Structure 1
Amino acid sequence: MPGVRTFLGLLASLAVCGVVAFLGYCVYFDRKRRGDPGFRRRLRDKRRAKRPKAKEQGAQLWDPANEKLREFFLQEVRMGELWLSRGAHRMGVDHFSNALLVCTQPQELLKVFKHTLPPKVFEMVLHQVPLICQQFEADMNEQEYLEDDPD
């Protein structure tokens, strides 16, 4: 039996040495890659290429052609804040929901609402979202039906 134990111990030590050698190999080539001036230049170029895209997306947040939509959005947010300050949470939630409906980036607006609205009101807004979507789809389907109707 001592031969088997010795063999297994030798095999385990070889496995540990192999793992250590592999990790050393990874660390060595990672340092070599990061130290390469070409790598840093390519990384900088990739980051610069992404910046204008982000600026363009921000510019598309409110198109000047949609000035009336923007005004409606701001009016709904103001009205929601007004009703909320008066203690009429339901009316405030209705206005915040209307603002969500016309917003070009509703996920971002929900993040803002999460940090600015009281938790109870934010939950009410979240419960209102599916209802808004259903109502919007129903309105769109009705509008398509009216456009397709020959009468």
Structure 2
Amino acid sequence: MSMFSKAAVAAGVFGTIFIGYCIYFDRKRRSDPDFKKKLKERRRKQRECDAAKHAQRAPIPDLKDHEAVQMFFLREVQLGEELLGRGDVDGGIDHLCNAVAVCGQPNQLLQVLQQTLPPHVFQQLLLCLPTVTKRIDKQNQKEMAEEDVE
């Protein structure tokens, strides 16, 4: 055998062993009873983290200034629709969550969104909503505390 054929055989054997190793551990990982549970939890935490990161970038207006809240609401709905139209589901959901959180009648808006959005997108919106609502409530309480001090 020439030197080239020995190297080719060695590479083939090594490749076969590596692929077998990958298949073995993939099956072992997937057969773990908690695999799906851990995967869902990791994805949920990632969505919450992404929503929290985005929520930090979107400044919430003073909730007492109705004109600013209305402008913010309209801008967030528009941005959410644009991002969903482009295929950026996470970004669109973040903006729609902000809009629902500052909306005066969130239940009616949620009914409209439920009818217009695909079911999986609407479910993600519902999962993201508590995080954004908590952030807005904290900001509102902070502003009220600052006014009490003055």
**TM-score normalised by structure 2 residue count:** 0.51
Task: Give distance in 1, aligned partners of 2:99 and 2:91.
Answer: 13
Counterpart in 1 of 2:113? 113
Task: Give distance in 2, aligned partners of 1:105 and 1:77.
Answer: 14
Q: 5+ unaligned residues in a row in structure 1: which ranges?
A: 1-64
How many residues end up aligned between the 2 structures? 86
Task: Report SS of the residue matched to 2:98.
Answer: helix
Distance 1:69 1:139, change over 3 A: closer
Counterpart in 2 of 1:147? 147
Task: Report SS of the residue matched to 2:104.
Answer: coil
Distance 1:140 1:109, change over 3 A: same
Counterpart in 2 of 1:48? none
Counterpart in 2 of 1:136? 136
CA positional deviation for 1:69: 2.8
Counterpart in 1 of 2:84? 84
Counterpart in 2 of 1:5? none
Q: 5+ unaligned residues in a row in structure 2: which ranges?
A: 1-64
CA positional deviation for 1:135: 1.0
RMSD: 1.9
Distance 1:132 1:87, change over 3 A: same
Task: Report SS of the residue matched to 2:84.
Answer: helix
Task: Give distance in 1, aligned partners of 2:107 and 2:67.
Answer: 21
Task: Give distance in 2, aligned partners of 1:69 and 1:142.
Answer: 17
Residues 10-67 of structure 1, C-alpha deviations (whole Å, 9 max, x = no match): xxxxxxxxxxxxxxxxxxxxxxxxxxxxxxxxxxxxxxxxxxxxxxxxxxxxxxx944
